[in-house]
Amino acid sequence: MRDYKNLEPSRFARHRAKGSTYPNARDRRKKGTPFPLVFIFLVALGGFIAIIFWNVPRIGEKLFHSEYFRIERIDVVGVKRADKDAIINAIGMRVGDNVLETDLQKIKERIEAIAWVRSVKVSRELPSKLVISVLEYDPVGEMRLDGKPVLVDRDGSTAPIMRITDEYPVFSGMESPESIVYGASLADALEKAGIAPHDSLHRITYDQSMGYAVTGKNGAEIRFGFPPFEKKIERLMMVLPDVLSRGAVDYVYLDFEDRVVVKNRE
């Protein structure tokens, strides 16, 4: 009969080496958090959350009825051409209302629907101030787009208007967004260079074969051809004093690479 007393432990048998720190089941049970403490903690946490939710409506009610958050000032900045009374009405808030009750997004949308307004920033300055910052269109021209009158901004964007006013040069021949952008950049560059303010221009035209031309209210025509316009404007500034010294200008052609063609009126 086989003697089992002298058998060596199997190398696959589980054993705990001497000095090992690996905990056994009994050790883990001893080191775990007692169940009553966990239960007490969860109950306390639930009570704390319940108290918060119970008091939130009361806290909100006190905030929205507090004199501390009453509007004392409504500042509207950046308005030059837009109807300021229409903007005040679009805000929908008055001095004495609670500043926390303002719906900033709705105020922004209502004001941006007003003529001449390009974009709006609405902000609260707690505890008692509402600030409306308006960015208006800065037009350099007018035109008809799809049969409707629009303003042309300096960056070539457009905004609907009631009618063509002749307050700005009329853009014609420009149908694509790209052609409008180039026309606006030409008008902007001429104004910034001090050559032709927008109120001195009658028309800016675009022709697919001839490019861009500007006609002043005095009847003089400056033909620029196709963009870029920077170097052509520099050439114009160089010859303009001499051209004007000869009298009224009939036309100036800058659409040549190596020369400027000028004709004075007789």
Query: Which of the pair, 230 or 61, is modelled with greater confidence?
Result: 230
Q: How confident is the model at residue 12 (pLDDT cuts 50, 70, 90)?
A: very low
Spatial CA neighbour of 244 closest among 256, 236, 234, 233: 236
Backbone torsion region of residue 92, taken as left when φ is above 0, otherwise alpha when ψ lies between -120 and 50, otherwise beta: left
Alpha helices in the chain (DSSP H): 25-31, 35-64, 84-91, 104-112, 177-192, 230-245
CATH fold of 139-264 reads Rossmann fold (3.40.50)
Least reliable range by pLDDT among 44-48, 107-111, 143-147, 229-233: 44-48
> 155-183: per-residue pLDDT in tens?
999 988 888 888 899 999 999 999 999 99
DSSP 190-246: HHHTTS--GGGEEEEEEETTTEEEEEETTS-EEEEESS--HHHHHHHHHHHHHHHHT
Is residue 103 within a helix (H) or strand (E), and if so which, with residue range?
none
Q: For 70-136, give the CATH class.
A: alpha beta
> 56-115: per-residue pLDDT in tens?
455 445 545 556 678 888 899 999 989 999 999 999 888 878 878 888 899 999 999 998
Yes or no: say if 122 and 109 are a contact pair by the CB < 8 Å rule.
no
- Give CA–CA dist 250/37, Å, rounded: 98
Question: What is the value of pTM for the model shown?
Answer: 0.67
Query: What is the structure's pLDDT at 39?
Result: 61
Yes or no: say if 205 and 224 are a contact pair by the CB < 8 Å rule.
no
In the chain, what are the domain boundaries? 70-136, 139-264
Whether 139-264 and 70-136 are alike in CATH topology: the answer is no
For 200, residues 6+ apart whose C-beta sits below 8 A from its C-beta are 216, 217, 218
